[in-house]
Every structure is written in structure tokens, then in C-alpha cells.
Amino acid sequence: MTEASSDVPTRATAASAATASTTDRADGNGAQATSIVEAVDVHKRFGSLEVLKGVSLSVERGEVVVLIGPSGSGKTTFLRCINHFEKIDQGRISVNGRLIGYRVDAKGNLREERAAEIARQRAEIGFVFQHFNLYPNKTALENVCLGPRKVRKISRDEAEELGRRLLQRVGLEAKFDVHPAQLSGGQKQRVAIARALAMQPKLILFDEPTSALDPEMIGEVLAVMKSLAAEGMTMIVVSHEMGFAREVADRVVMMDDGVLVEEGPPRQIFDHPAHERTRAFLAKLL
Ligand SMILES: Nc1ncnc2c1ncn2[C@@H]1O[C@H](COP(=O)(O)OP(=O)(O)O)[C@@H](O)[C@H]1O
Ligand SMILES: [Mg+2]
């Protein structure tokens, strides 16, 4: 089922477009700290089902935001809207001061960008999936090299050097030439993280990166994510790994039924949640 097709303008105001370009200028000067992600009043419907009901979230450069909430609350959909895997029905999302997936036409309406431009924008946003989404017929190294070679047009040698370096970084120097079927879940997810890093993203979105893993492999993936956070990567992480969230998150955001219910530092949200919906959700987790 489709929503806003490319010739149907999404509802948005000229004012919101002006805000986006202001952010752009500030960013260009490098003088001001700006948000990497700016989502404003995002609505998303699948047919008659409204899944996102006005979600607004800003994420600062270098910030780690952990998104929690019950199954079906819209967490995956929200992440997918940020890199325009999904079109939005209302509102706007910008990354690094640029609207994602849309441009503003002469009348101030949002129009969907051309596919090539969307691909270019998406290349700057890493996405790590719950089920890895590696190419099964390619080796670990090929999985990591493919994006830089196709999108960044770098040479095979350069791409392979980059790929080896990144696989080493996630502890997989022994697995360059191995296919995904011969890797454990934790190893597959580390290849997927190396693949995201290969595009030199400004931001990485993680959608329940450890929830498909056997318990003994969760730690090795979280350790890689922790090291990325320590190096200043901006990350939005859908995860219910409380230990990770307490240690690494700058902010925990609770989503329920298509809205952000509350947000705050991990200790505040986990130990003193303000909302009944957060309390009920956390009680079920423990
Ligand atoms: N492509 C789709 N088509 C129709 N409904 C969808 C689609 N993707 C997600 N949904 C519905 O949107 C709601 C939110 O899903 P999702 O974003 O996956 O939630 P979460 O990640 O929090 O579990 C659910 O009711 C789900 O069934
Ligand atoms: Mg999900």
C-alpha cells in the first residue's frame, strides 16, 4: 500500500522549509552546534492505519539515543522514515540540515526527490538491521566493499583496503573471505556494522541489532557499538538492552502507539519514569 506518491506533495509549510535552510547555513559555517537529525511532527500511515502520529525528535551530533517501546509502537517505521525507506505523510525530517527524501517546490510544498538524490542522501545514513541483511552470496569483505565501490566509486583496491581495516576494527580479521552462512549471528552483525561504517556515515540507525542473537553473542555486538559511541558516532538505537542503554545512551526515548511518550537520561527513564505507559512497559521487560 502506498501513501504520498512522488507527485503528491506532502503537507508542510514554507516556514518549515525555511528552518531547514537556516540549519544548513549554520552548519556550513561550522560555527554552531546543530542537530544531525531533526524530525518534526512526522506522521506515517499504512493505508488507514496511522503508525506515526506526530513524532518530533532532535538528535545532536555525537549523541546516542536509545529508543524503547512495545512491539508495534512504530519504532522500526520511525527509523525507516529517517533514511527514507518509508515516505512520510506529514511533517519533515532533515539530516545534517538537509531535508531527507524531499525538496521544497516553488509553492513551498514538499516533493519527493529523485531516486539518485535519495540514494546519495541514504549513503550518509548507516542502517543496521535486526536480521543483518547481508548478501548471502558475497563474502564478508565483499559485503563491506560493495557500497563504497558502487556509491562512492572508489577503486577495488581502495575499497578492499577499507573493508579489511573495518573488518579488523570489528574483530573479524580472520573472516574476510567467509560467506555469511559460515558466520555466527554476532559475527554477521559485526560485518553489517563494518558495512555501515564503510560509507562513512554521519549517523547510524540500529534497529534491534541484538534481538536476533543468541545471548552469548549479544556482548560482542554491544561492545562494537560502545566503541563507536566512544568515538563520537551519532547513533539512534532501538534496543531493550538496559545495561547498554544505561551505560551508553545520552538519552532514552519511550515510544508507544505512534507517539513519543517521554524522554530523558537513562537513569531518569528507567528508575523514575514519569508516565504510566513507560512504567507498564518497563515492568514487562524485567
Ligand atoms: N509495510 C507495512 N505495511 C502495513 N503495516 C505496517 C508496515 N510496516 C509496519 N506496519 C505496522 O505498523 C505498526 C508499527 O510497526 P513497527 O514500526 O514495525 O513497530 P515496532 O518496530 O515498534 O515493533 C504495526 O502495527 C505494524 O504492523
Ligand atoms: Mg521493530
The overall average pLDDT reported for the chain is 90
33 compared with 204, residue with greater pLDDT: 204
Tell me the ligand closest to 130's alpha carbon.
2
Give residue 12's pLDDT band: very low, low, confident or very high (50, 70, 90): very low
Contact in structure between 45 and 11 (CB atoms under 8 Å): no
Tell me what pLDDT residue 220 has.
Answer: 97
Give residue 15's pLDDT band: very low, low, confident or very high (50, 70, 90): very low
pLDDT tens readout for residues 32-91: 557 999 999 999 999 999 999 999 999 999 999 999 999 999 999 999 999 999 999 999
> What 3-state DSSP class applies to 274?
coil
Tell me what pLDDT residue 33 has.
Answer: 56
Cα–ligand 1 centroid distance for 259 (angstroms): 13
Tell me what pLDDT residue 286 has.
Answer: 74
Type of residue found at 40:
V
Pocket of ligand 1 (CB under 6 A): 46, 49, 51, 69, 71-77
Handedness of CA 64, 265, 207, 78 (dihedral sign): negative
Q: Per DSSP, what are the bridge partners of residue 238?
A: 67, 207
pLDDT exceeds cutoff 80 at 1: no
pLDDT tens readout for residues 93-147: 999 999 999 999 999 888 999 999 999 999 999 999 999 999 999 999 999 999 9
Give the integer Cα–Cα distance in Å for 158 and 145.
9
pLDDT tens readout for residues 179-199: 999 999 999 999 999 999 999
* Helical segments of the chain, H only: 14-29, 75-82, 115-122, 140-151, 156-169, 185-198, 215-230, 242-248, 266-271, 276-285
pLDDT exceeds cutoff 70 at 6: no
Q: What is the pTM of this model?
A: 0.89
All three cell numbers of 123, joined, read 549513503
Type of residue found at 258:
G
Q: 36, 24, 71: which is closest to 236 by C-alpha?
A: 36
Q: What percent of the chain has pLDDT over 90?
A: 84
Tell me what pLDDT residue 7 has.
Answer: 41
Atom of ligand 1 nearest to the CA of 69: 22
Top mutation candidate among 49, 206, 261, 277 for ligand 1, by most atoms within 8 Å of CB: 49
Give residue 22's pLDDT band: very low, low, confident or very high (50, 70, 90): very low
Give residue 164's pLDDT band: very low, low, confident or very high (50, 70, 90): very high
